[in-house]
Amino acid sequence: MGPAQVLPFFRRATPLVGAVALLGLLSGCGSGGDATGAVSTPAGTSSRTTGPATGDTGSPSTGPGTASPGAPDTASPATQSGGPGTRCHTSELRASIGRPSPGAGQRNFPIVLTNTGGHTCTVHGYPGAAFVDASGEQLGPDPKRSPDTPSTVTLTPGGSAWAGLTFASPEISGARTAVPAALLVTPPDERDPLKVAWTNGEVPVAGNESSVFVTIVQPGTGG
Whether residue 194 contacts residue 220, with contact meaning beta carbons closer than 8 Å, is answered with no
Q: Could you give the 3-state DSSP secondary structure of residue 220?
A: coil
Q: E strands of the chain, at which residues? A: 86-87, 93-97, 106-115, 121-124, 128-132, 144-145, 152-155, 160-168, 176-178, 182-186, 194-197, 203-206, 212-214, 218-219
pLDDT score for 171: 85
Distance, in Å, from the CA atom of 80 to the CA atom of 88, rounded to the nearest integer, reads 10
pLDDT score for 47: 52
| 176-205 per-residue burial string, b: 16 or more CB within 10 A, e: under 16 | ebeebbbbbbbbbbbbbbbbbbbebeebbb
pLDDT score for 103: 76
Whether residue 208 lies inside any domain: the answer is yes
Distance, in Å, from the CA atom of 44 to the CA atom of 116, rounded to the nearest integer, reads 25
Whether residue 91 lies inside any domain: the answer is yes
135: CB partners within 8 A, 6+ apart: none
pLDDT score for 209: 77
pLDDT score for 133: 97
Whether residue 181 lies inside any domain: the answer is yes
| Alpha helices for the chain (secondary structure H) | 3-13, 170-173
Whether residue 122 lies inside any domain: the answer is yes
Whether residue 68 lies inside any domain: the answer is no
Whether residue 134 lies inside any domain: the answer is yes
The pTM assigned to this predicted structure is: 0.67
pLDDT score for 83: 43
pLDDT score for 172: 87
Backbone angles phi, psi at 56, to 5 degrees: -135, 110
Please list the ranges in the chain whose pLDDT falls under 70. 1-85
Starting at the earlier edge strand, list the strands of the sheet with 121-124.
Answer: 86-87, 121-124, 152-155
Distance, in Å, from the CA atom of 65 to the CA atom of 99, rounded to the nearest integer, reads 29
Q: 208: domain range?
A: 3-51+79-219
Domain count, the chain: 1
Whether residue 145 contacts residue 56, with contact meaning beta carbons closer than 8 Å, is answered with yes
Whether residue 106 lies inside any domain: the answer is yes
Whether residue 69 contacts residue 186, with contact meaning beta carbons closer than 8 Å, is answered with no
Distance, in Å, from the CA atom of 179 to the CA atom of 13, rounded to the nearest integer, reads 25
Whether residue 148 lies inside any domain: the answer is yes
